[in-house]
Structures are given as C-alpha cells and as structure tokens.
Amino acid sequence: MTDTPAPRDWMLPSALLHDGGHVSGQRTRRTGRDWLVDCALFAWAVALWVLTLCTAPEADFLPHWLVVMDAPLGALACVALWWRRRYPLALAIALIPIAAVSTTVFGALAVVILNLGLRVHRRTAWAVLVAHIALGMPYSILTAGDRAPDWTTISFVLAYYLFFYAWGAAVRAKRQLVSRLRADAQRERAEHARHLADVRRAEREAIAREMHDVLAHRISLLSVHAGALAYRTDAKQSGAAPLSDAEISSSAQLIRDTAHQALEELRDVLTVLRGSAQGSEGPQPGVADLPALVAEAERAGQRVTVVRDDDAGAARLRGPVQRTVYRVVQEGLTNARKHAPGAHVTVTLSGGRDRGLTVAVRNGLTGRADRPIPGAGAGLTGLEERVALDGGTLRHGASAGTFTLVAELPWAEPAATARPADAQDRAGAAAAQPQLPPH
C-alpha cells in the first residue's frame, strides 16, 4: 500500500497551513488558492454591484442624497473585501449602516456574511447577524414597495442572510474537523514514535540480558582457569613442583574449549539479533543441560551439590521456563565463582503441578574475593526481569553467612503434555493464544 502524496501548499487555505486557526488582526500570507478565491469573490461582488446598479428601479420617494450615495457605498464595500481575512469582525460591523441604506451592496454583503460565519466566534457572529437583519430589513421592505408583498421580502432577506452565514459556518466546521484530524494524526504519530522507542529499548535490554547470561558464565570460567594456570606458574618460583607438559596442555585445551563455547553462544545470540536464519539458532539450554553446567563449574574448581525434588518433571516444562531455570542456576554459579571463590554451592530444584517450581542456589560467604572477577552488576536485575516474564518471582540476599538466590516459577507444561482431563478443554484455547518469543 502506497502513501498518498500530500497536496501542495498553494492548494490549501492559509488557515489550514496555520493549524486551522485565524486570529483577527493577525497577518497571514495568502496561498495561491486564497488569491484565486479572493479574486473570484471580488469579481462576483463587482458584477452584482454593476447588475444592481443597472437594474435598480427609480425610487423617487427616497431622498436624493441617499440615491446618489448608494453606488459609492456599494463600490466601497466591494473594495473593503480585500481586508476580510485580516479584519472579519470589524468589516462586518462597518457594513451594518451601509447595508441599511444601500442596495448595490448586495454582492459584497453576501461575502461579508459568509466571512462572518467562517472567521468569527459563533456568539459574536450571531449578534452581528441579528444587527444586520434588524437594520437592513426596513430598507429592503421600503425599496420593494408594491412589487412584492412584505412577507415575501422578509422571507427573502432572512433566507439571504441565513444561507450565506450557514455556508461560512459549514466551511468553518469542515476546517476545524480537518485541524482536529491533523492534531489526532500528530498525536498518534508521536505516540507511535514513543511506542517504537519503548519497544527498541526493551529489545536492547533483552539483548543485553541475554548476552550477560551467555557470556558472564563463560568469561568467568576463562578467568578461573587462566588464574589457576598463572598461580601454578608463579608457585614454581617458590620451590613448588613445576607443571608438567601434560598439565599445561590440558589447561590450555580447557581454556580454548571454554573460549570456543563462549564464541558459539555469542554467535547464536547475534543470529537471533540480526533476525537472519530464523529457526536455525539451535537448541536452547534447559533443565536437561544442568548436569553439564554443574560439571563445567566443578572443572573450574567449584564444589557443587545438586538436590532435586521434582521427580524429573521439570524437564517436561515449556521451553522458556526451562531456559529461565538454566539461567538462574548459571547466574548463581557465576556469582559464587566471582564473589565467594572456594565456597560450597548447593543447587536445589523442587516442585510439582500443585506447588509450582522453585529453584534455589545457596553458597557461603567466604570473604576471600580480594580481587573479584569484574562484572556489569546487572545480572540479578536482568534475571529478575526474565523470571517476571514467566510469571514468577525472584528473591536474593545474604543471611547468616549464606547468600541465597531463589526463583519461584509457575509449573507450565506444554499443551501436548498437559493432564488428560484438561488437554481437550485447553487445546482450542492454547492454539488461539499467542506465544511469547524466547527470552
């Protein structure tokens, strides 16, 4: 669908180019359309002035000076139309006495009344319109004489004033509607821009959280392995047994494998970020990968005990919940490795359908982190957001010499593995519900 090109400025009224508003006495630059309209209205008023002047019957019963002044007053009213945009109210009031004693003002008066409905506030415009009718009606009845009944003249005068005023009021209402629609479009555009900014900020936060979760664990392992190798090398100078070639090779191989894994996981994150190769980012970590995660931590020198009380049911939960469980354990091990090196870590996984799922990581506070591994300090904050997306809560804190990280998550099984009693009822609803993207 293509956008309709916007009309050129010269095709619009100047009032719409200034937010649809006109203030009396305020100078606005006329557009090409304004000049065409003004010239057409001026020509129409002059034509009616000439026609009225040529076809007006003799009015011997009127004073001679009034008959002589009729044509100049009508011509003056035609010339005054060029100021109708800047002084609409003043021009309408000035024409009240002229319209009360002149017939050649017929064309110019119609333009002024139309302009009154278009540019003057409704209450003020109605007051001026009533004054025009009240003062112009007697002269119209007098000049009509015996050529038309009084009720016909009265009806014509009322229709004349009301028609041109209603025309101007209708144009005013249309312009106000266009201005309101424009303001609504601008507000919607601004709201859309704010929404896009919020979405982009949320995406950046999700990407930062994912990269932190993926890389912090690997980089901390690299730091531990490299630190151990450096410690053993330095210990050689103090008379300790030197490292054998096999030990050096094994340490270097371990560091290389850990670096390769960090690069692979970073590549997966960047693949999702770029939006390319959808569906090929590989399996995401889950509960089944916890033993490998614990084994990596133990190879880095951590002492980890795993306690499970979920009857292996957590491995059947939805993918996003399993990833959150994995990230909670990963963050807990990483924090213990950074801030409490050498402390014993206990990982507890318990729960069921009726209890929900609880993941707890506890470690002692050793006070040995003289030179802790640096970090961004946003791991727990990002983890709290991740747990909240799955409808859970996260608690963490130190008490009695133990740091505890606890995540409580709902027991969310996929629709295919739900309980038989609920599977048939939930099948249609689950298919209609949009699934949250992986996080």
pLDDT band at 9 (very low <50, low <70, confident <90, very high): low
If residue 236 lies in a helix (H) or strand (E), which one and from where to where? helix 150-236
Query: Could you give the CA distance from residue 298 to residue 164 in angstroms, rounded to a whole number?
Result: 91
pLDDT of residue 46: 92
pLDDT at 370 over 60: no
Query: Could you give the CA distance from residue 116 to residue 165 in angstroms, rounded to a whole number?
Result: 7
Over residues 398-424, the pLDDT tens digits come to: 888 899 999 999 988 776 544 444 444
Q: Give ∠ CA 324-325-326 in degrees, rounded to 5.
A: 90
% pLDDT > 70, the chain: 70
Lowest-pLDDT choice from 138-147, 169-178, 195-204, 371-380: 371-380
pLDDT band at 178 (very low <50, low <70, confident <90, very high): confident
Cβ atoms of residues 422 and 410 within 8 Å:
no
- Tell me the range of 47-56, 156-165, 241-250, 257-266 where mean pLDDT is highest: 156-165
pLDDT at 253 over 80: no
- Those residues with Cβ within 8 angstroms of residue 267's Cβ, 6 or more apart along the chain or in another chain: none
Cβ atoms of residues 74 and 110 within 8 Å:
no
> Mean pLDDT over residues 282-308, rounded?
84
- Tell me the range of 107-111, 270-274, 334-338 where mean pLDDT is highest: 107-111
pLDDT at 119 over 50: yes
pLDDT at 127 over 90: yes
- Tell me the range of 3-7, 34-38, 357-361, 385-389 where mean pLDDT is highest: 357-361
Nearest to 25 by CA among 89, 86, 83: 86
Lowest-pLDDT choice from 117-126, 148-157, 160-169, 370-379: 370-379
Domain ranges for the chain: 9-147, 204-275+284-432
pLDDT of residue 143: 74
pLDDT band at 358 (very low <50, low <70, confident <90, very high): very high
pLDDT band at 18 (very low <50, low <70, confident <90, very high): low
pLDDT band at 60 (very low <50, low <70, confident <90, very high): low
Query: Could you give the CA distance from residue 361 to residue 347 in angstroms, rounded to a whole number?
Result: 5
Over residues 235-246, the pLDDT tens digits come to: 556 656 666 777
Q: Which residue has the tokens 């599977």?
A: 423
Q: Give ∠ CA 33-34-36 in degrees, rounded to 5.
A: 65
Query: Could you give the CA distance from residue 95 to residue 133 in angstroms, rounded to a whole number?
Result: 12
pLDDT at 322 over 60: yes
Mean pLDDT of the chain: 77
Q: Which residue has the tokens 């809560």?
A: 393
Query: Could you give the CA distance from residue 136 to residue 156 in angstroms, rounded to a whole number?
Result: 12
> Mean pLDDT over residues 258-270, rounded?
70
Q: Which CATH number fits domain 204-275+284-432: 3.30.230.70, 3.40.50.1860, 3.40.50.2030, 3.30.565.10?
A: 3.30.565.10
If residue 233 lies in a helix (H) or strand (E), which one and from where to where? helix 150-236
Cβ atoms of residues 217 and 330 within 8 Å:
yes
> Mean pLDDT over residues 206-229, rounded?
69
